[in-house]
Amino acid sequence: FKENINDFFGLCNAGACPFRITVLGSVGAYVEGALRVRDVKSSEIVVEVKGARLAFCGKNLTVSSYCDKDLRISGNIEKILWQK
């Protein structure tokens, strides 16, 4: 299963994933390994991670904390878009 996920996201099977996303239902998410927050709107937060951009889309989104490459997003997350 891990190999399929790595193939889908274009990651090396031998190495560890450079980031991790933990979704807390529809109320928020943690991103470990965030390099930069590119854009913050109440409907979308765009985050750069190694090798990709992630767009968290939803309602009432905020960056509730960002420290040492760990990011917490609060709000009603409806979908996460991935761009390599």
- Provide the whole-model pTM: 0.80
Q: For the segment 29-78, what is each residue's pLDDT rounded down to a tens digit?
A: 999 999 999 999 999 999 999 989 999 999 999 999 999 999 999 999 99
Residue with tokens 């996201």: 9
Instruction: In whole angstroms, give the CA distance from residue 55 to residue 53.
Output: 7
Torsion on CA atoms 64, 67, 72, 73, rounded to nearest 10: 60
Tokens representing 49 are: 């991670």
Q: For the segment 2-35, what is each residue's pLDDT rounded down to a tens digit?
A: 456 566 666 655 556 789 999 998 899 999 999 9
